[in-house]
Amino acid sequence: MSTQIWTRLDYDRPGKQVGHLHLPHSVHRSAYGNIVIPLGIVAGGKGPTLLLTAGTHGDEYEGQIALTKLLRNIDPKSVNGRLIVIPMLNAPAARAGMRTSPIDGANLNRAFPGDPLGGPTAAIAHYVSSVLFPMADAYQDIHAGGSSLDYLPFVSVRQSGDADLDARAMAAARAFGAPLIQVWGYSPDPRLSTAESNRQKIVSLGGEFGGGGAVSRRGLAIVERGLERLMAHLGIMAPLDESPPPPALEVEVQGRDHYVYAEADGLFEPLADLGESVLAGQPCGNVHDPDDPLRPAALHLFRRDGMLVCRRHPGQVRRGDCLAHLAAPRRG
């Protein structure tokens, strides 16, 4: 079964086109309705195809803004190759300001390679996997921590097991020029978008550029400048200047013990800050229960040494929530 998603745009036409993907969605309020997903195509000259997506999670905004500005401002005459740009890939989630789709409750970044006859989220994943990835030479899916996590901004690479592909991805990440590069060396879930693009042998970048459901001015500046450098690295655009990207710290998440999970419900008082280097056994934070003020706070410790790159944003936590995660200096 092939995709039911359609568009009036033409992926092969030179110039700048901005329009929509239409995902048929027959529901009570519209028997012949469509979920509409903004799409931009900018093509010119000879060169590779770079696919850029944001809004895979609807409450991560730096990428959505950066790609909107990119489409608005880019001059197609400056392009060699092709950009396919989707600022809010899970459009229903993005319109709702939610991580997950309000229609089917699904998390798009746990839905790859997708299903053309599944719910809207699965159908979007399937379109990316079956139509867009086969056209792409390089891919970046731009993330942030969303409503529940604060992240130190970084560009990231997910290890594919293919050394050549990983090396090309790492070169692209370095060209991107973020102050921090994170390697996901531990990721059991095969349903992420970059897990699928890795399987299709596309040079793939991720990145977390802020969090808490807010817009980070610093994260936005990093991603806007990084996209310019990435397009220059790929030969799609001329570089803005000839200076090399600034040197970056390279770190790696190596396993479950890099994460701290809440062992009690309550309010989380953090005891370490993003960017701080911590030692195993050092306090990560307390969980207090204002419903029982005399109950002792639940103290949570880090299980490993590392740099604090991610911390829970909301004050309220439930047992099982991730409170923080670390990254260690990259091995080898």
Judging by beta carbons within 10 Å of its beta carbon (0-12, 13-18, 19+), is residue 310 exposed, middle or buried?
Answer: buried
Query: Greatest CA separation found in the chain?
Result: 70
Shortest Å, Cβ 128 to a second copy = 17
Residues 6+ apart with CB under 8 A from 278: 272, 284, 302, 305, 306, 307, 308, 326
Closer Cβ to a second copy, 84 or 203, answer by number:
84
SS3 category, 306: strand
Closer Cβ to a second copy, 162 or 217, answer by number:
217
Shortest Å, Cβ 215 to a second copy = 4
Q: 90-129: which residues touch a second copy (CB under 8 A)?
A: 91, 94-95, 97-100, 107, 109-110, 117
Regarding 281 and contact with a second copy (CB under 8 A), the answer is: no
Which element (helix H / strand E) includes 252? Answer: strand 249-253
Determine which residue in the list 189, 241, 243, 331 makes contact with a second copy, applying CB under 8 A.
189
Q: 250-269: which residues touch a second copy (CB under 8 A)?
A: 256, 259, 261, 267-269
Considering CB under 8 A, how many residues would be counted as binding a second copy?
A: 91
Q: 289-328: which residues touch a second copy (CB under 8 A)?
A: 289-294, 296-297, 312-316, 318-322, 325
CA distances to 36, 172, 241 from 19, in Å: 9, 29, 32
Regarding 34 and contact with a second copy (CB under 8 A), the answer is: yes
Shortest Å, Cβ 313 to a second copy = 5
Shortest Å, Cβ 255 to a second copy = 11
Distance CA 81, CA 70 (A): 16
DSSP class per residue in 19-74: EEEEEE--BTTBTT-EEEEEEEEEEESS--EEEEE--SSTT--HHHHHHHHHHHH-
Residue type at 286 in one-letter notation: N
The neighbouring-strand residues paired with 22 are: 6, 36
Determine which residue in the list 9, 131, 214, 274 makes contact with a second copy, applying CB under 8 A.
214
Determine which residue in the list 6, 75, 134, 244 makes contact with a second copy, applying CB under 8 A.
6
Residues 6+ apart with CB under 8 A from 244: none
Q: 122-161: which residues touch a second copy (CB under 8 A)?
A: 145-150
- Left if phi > 0, otherwise alpha if psi is -120 to 50, otherwise beta: which for 228? alpha
Regarding 52 and contact with a second copy (CB under 8 A), the answer is: no
Closer Cβ to a second copy, 118 or 245, answer by number:
118
Q: 164-183: which residues touch a second copy (CB under 8 A)?
A: none
Closer Cβ to a second copy, 72 or 171, answer by number:
72
Closer Cβ to a second copy, 167 or 319, answer by number:
319
